Amino acid sequence: MSNNPIGIFDSGVGGTSIWKEIHHLLPNENTIYLADSANAPYGPKGSEKIKELSIKNTELLLKKGCKIIVVACNTATTNAIDYLRETYNVPFIGIEPAIKPAALQTKTNAVGILATKGTLSSELFSKTSGKFASNIKVIEREGKGIVELIESGKLYSDAMKAILLEYLQPMLKANIDHLVLGCTHYPYLIPILLELLPNHVTIIDSGAAVARQTKTVLEKNSLLNLSAETINLKFYTNGSIDVMYSLLGKGFDVKHLNF
Ligand code: DGL
């Protein structure tokens, strides 16, 4: 069982930002990544639909023998992880916007958060936000259009810059000193955000923390891969292979699969 793969899924290519952190920390692990790009974006879909898609992705990964599932999508985590944990007999790792560290570190008492509608409107997010950020100003913006541009290979485009400027303006006006990236597609925006943000704004993303949590849970369940066999890193997408390559780099085993 311990050399079975780690299963990772996202609404599309964004969760590869999490896969990179996991592979960096756990280079001896087999992995299977599912990009449900044909159904991206999940953000504007209702909670029931997001749950249904998360179930479909989970069942495919379980069929492929995954020993643990990383829900590399804030929107799927905040809407479906409780159900997944109750229903399937493997450990699940989720990802939530890192509002807690931002709230603890802010000196201006104002933080910005960029996430999808599905995440911002979820019960889990309002609970976390209420618990850790009730006495600071949280400027939330729904990142409408961002996932679509990334999924269509237009990460570095004038359209992306224009959208980001629009979402950042009210945050900068409110004097934020931290910007929380609440979607796994957004770490790919960091080079653009660094150009647009003043130096005193710290960008927070949860990728490295998710990788550490994955390692801890594997250890606790005696599931770390200790075998010396060559590992397999598999990527399946029901969308564009080229967009996957543009984010991962060539040389990976990326296949098209209808699911
Ligand atoms: N990567 C997903 C997330 O973390 C994007 C959601 C979407 O498809 O709208 O929320």
Q: Which of helix, strand or coil describes residue 31?
A: strand
Find how far residue 64's CA is from the centre of its chain.
Answer: 21
Beta strands in the chain (DSSP E): 6-10, 31-35, 68-71, 92-93, 110-115, 137-142, 178-182, 202-204, 233-237, 253-256
Separation of CA 14 and ligand 1 centre (Å)? 7
pLDDT at 54: 98
Instruction: Return the best residue to mutate from 70, 75, 79 for the ligand 1 pocket (most ligand atoms within 8 A of CB).
Output: 75
Please answer whether residues 124 and 96 qualify as being in contact, where contact means their C-beta atoms are separated by less than 8 angstroms: yes
Separation of CA 40 and ligand 1 centre (Å)? 8
What size, in residues, is the chain?
Answer: 259
ipTM metric: 0.97
Separation of CA 119 and ligand 1 centre (Å)? 8
Which ligand 1 atom lies nearest to the CA of residue 76? 10
pLDDT at 132: 92
Q: Is 205 annotated as a binding residue?
A: no
Instruction: Return the best residue to mutate from 8, 11, 122 for the ligand 1 pocket (most ligand atoms within 8 A of CB).
Output: 11
CA 85/CA 123 separation, integer angstroms: 17
Instruction: Return the best residue to mutate from 21, 185, 205 for the ligand 1 pocket (most ligand atoms within 8 A of CB).
Output: 185
Separation of CA 188 and ligand 1 centre (Å)? 13
CA 235/CA 232 separation, integer angstroms: 10
pLDDT at 193: 98
Q: Is 240 annotated as a binding residue?
A: no
- Buried b / exposed e along 183-205 (16+ C-beta atoms within 10 A): bbbbbbbeebbeeebeeebbbbb
Beta bridge partners of 254: 235
Which ligand 1 atom lies nearest to the CA of residue 15? 1
Tokens of 255: 């296949």
Separation of CA 166 and ligand 1 centre (Å)? 20
Nearest CA to ligand 1 atom 2: 73
Which ligand 1 atom lies nearest to the CA of residue 75? 10
Q: Which of helix, strand or coil describes residue 252?
A: coil
Q: pTM for the complete prediction? A: 0.96
Q: Is 184 annotated as a binding residue?
A: yes
Beta bridge partners of 114: 141, 181
pLDDT at 254: 97
Residues of the chain with pLDDT under 70: none
Tokens of 195: 């150009």
Total Cβ atoms within 10 A of residue 78: 30
Q: What is the 3-state secondary structure (H, E, C) of 114-179?
A: EECHHHHCCHHHHHHHHHHCCCCEEEEEECCCHHHHHHCCCCCCHHHHHHHHHHHHHHHHCCCCEE
pLDDT at 122: 93
For the stretch 129-150, pLDDT in tens is 999 999 999 999 999 999 999 9
Q: Is 230 annotated as a binding residue?
A: no
Tokens of 246: 């543009």
Q: Which domains does the chain have, with CATH numbers?
A: 6-94+207-256 (3.40.50.1860), 98-206 (3.40.50.1860)
pLDDT at 1: 81
pLDDT at 229: 87
Which ligand 1 atom lies nearest to the CA of residue 119? 10
